[in-house]
Structure formats: C-alpha cells, structure tokens
Amino acid sequence: MTKTPPHPLDHLVLPTRSLHIARQRLSSLGFVVAPTGVHPFGTENACVFFTDGTYLEPLAVGDDKTADRAMGEGNVFVARDRLYRSRLDDEGFSAVVFGTADADADHARYVEAGLSAGNMLSFSRAFTDTTGKSDTASFKLAFAADRKAPDAFLFACQRINAPQIDRTALQAHANGVTG
C-alpha cells in the first residue's frame, strides 16, 4: 500500500431523531443552522458550517421508505446510519469524515487494506442558503470500517460540485466558533 498525505477533517456526522430539535439545540448554543438539506436516499441534514471549511452534520431519517430501499440497494451511508441507531441510539456522533480530492483512490486503498465498508456512493442534492438561493452540491464517498469495531465509521468525501453560494451568513455564529 502506498503512503498518502493525511486527509483534512471535512465534517462530523451527528445522528438525531429530529432535525427540528437539533436545530433548536444548536441555535440555543449560538450556532447558525443551515436550511434542511434532503438526500436522495431518505436522510436529511441541517448543517452548521464553519469558516475553516469544516462542518457539523446533524442527520435524521426523513423518509423511512426511501431509506429502506436505499439500504436494500447497498447504500453504505444509510446502512451505517441505521446500524448506529440500532446499536447505540438516535442521538450521538456516528462518523468522522475526511476531505479528499480522489475518493476512487481512497476506496481502492480501503479495499486493499481490508477496511472497505462497501460500495462507493455518488450523489447530488440541492443546497440552499439563508436567503433562499439554491444550487446543487455533488459528492463522492468512499467508506472505511473495521469489522472488529462496528461502532467506528469513517469515510472520505470528495466534493465534486461545491455550490456557488455565499456561506458568510451561515458561518457567522453568535458564539464566535469558526471551526
């Protein structure tokens, strides 16, 4: 296996039963929470973005039927979210996500090392800022997990299309947090 430079932290996945409650909690702590983002595989998020490029991703299941279908089709993101919720709870911290410029190469390394958690995932979703301006965000994900540590999960996230939206208002947290 070839050595690669370390990937930077991209975001943390925080499962929640309710985005409404997560939004209230985070807002009460002085964070600006982005409008709800809907994934095409049944989950949805309400992210907290920071000026250093990282973010928190509170994640809820918005459509159980779509999530069940995605899981049946081999969607690792949904399957690991479901595993976390069934083993630990609907609230918590389920995944560390690292930024990458090449998710395909990361996936190949995970497979070679025996750490792949399954098939890669490519998807797009609408991204809306606080003023209602919308654009499309696209991602490619490569998953890693160790079978001996079922509660530990990480993945590499390649941002294929970063929305051309001004995030300044989404990053101006009353509590002063920048990353």
Q: What are 115-135's pLDDT values in tens digits?
A: 999 999 999 998 887 788 888
The tokens describing 23, both together, are: 């939004």
Show Cβ contacts of residue 143 under 8 Å, excluding neighbours closer than 6 positions: 76, 77, 80, 107, 110, 116, 117, 118, 120, 121, 153, 154, 155
Where are the chain's structural domains? 9-164
Which parts of 4-147 fold into alpha helices (H)? Answer: 19-28, 64-72, 76-87, 103-112
Which token pair is 151? 């509660």
Sign of CA dihedral 171, 22, 35, 69: positive
Task: Tell me how far CA of residue 14 lies from CA of 33, 84, 169, in angstroms.
Answer: 14, 11, 22
36-60 mean pLDDT: 96
pLDDT band at 149 (very low <50, low <70, confident <90, very high): confident
Q: How far apart are CA 74 and CA 94, in angstroms?
A: 19
Closest CA to 26 of 1, 2, 52, 59: 59
Tell me, yes or no, if the pTM score tops 0.75.
Answer: yes
Q: In the prediction, which pLDDT does 67 show? A: 98
Q: Which of these CATH numbers, 3.40.50.11540, 3.40.50.970, 3.40.1160.10, 3.10.180.10, describes 9-164?
A: 3.10.180.10
- In the chain, DSSP assigns E strands to 9-15, 37-38, 43-45, 48-49, 55-61, 95-99, 121-128, 134-144, 154-161
Read off the pLDDT of residues 55-89 as tens digits, 9 standing for 90 and up. 999 999 999 999 999 999 999 999 999 999 999 99
**Do 42 and 63 contact (CB within 8 A), yes or no?**
yes
Question: According to the model, what pLDDT value does residue 1 have?
Answer: 53
